[in-house]
Amino acid sequence: DQQVKQNSPSLSVQEGRISILNCDYTNSMFDYFLWYKKYPAEGPTFLISISSIKDKNEDGRFTVFLNKSAKHLSLHIVPSQPGDSAVYFCAASEDGGTSYGKLTFGQGTILTVHP
């Protein structure tokens, strides 16, 4: 039962262009969403999050969009840089901000940014 799905296993983008990573979820109880970045042999690193009361959150080159009706969120990276090449995980939690923080992760998308 995959409650958080990242249907694209990989994405290849040219440096300077936009990277768009997608994530779908099925559990309507999820109300807090996060994106993590992971390099090989390292733990995931928090990138950006969004509460279900918002539809957009921006932090520098990273913007997360949330479409609650479609149960879909996306991460936009503009402009993409070679150092952004990593695995990106979408994650979700229930009762965001008040829960004990248990996260449900997607399978991940491997982003490769070519110089």
Partner 1 sequence: NAGVMQNPRHLVRRRGQEARLRCSPMKGHSHVYWYRQLPEEGLKFMVYLQKENIIDESGMPKERFSAEFPKEGPSILRIQQVVRGDSAAYFCASSPRLVGYTFGSGTRLTVV
Q: Which residues bind partner 1 (CB under 8 A)?
A: 4, 6, 32, 36, 41-46, 49, 89, 91, 93, 96-108
Closer of 16 and 97 to partner 1 (Cβ): 97
Closer of 79 and 94 to partner 1 (Cβ): 94
Let me know if 32 is exposed, middle or buried by CB neighbors in 10 A (0-12, 13-18, 19+): buried
Closer of 6 and 63 to partner 1 (Cβ): 6
CA triple 22-106-69, angle to 5 deg: 50
Rounded least distance, CB 14 to partner 1, Å: 26
Rounded least distance, CB 76 to partner 1, Å: 21
Rounded least distance, CB 17 to partner 1, Å: 26
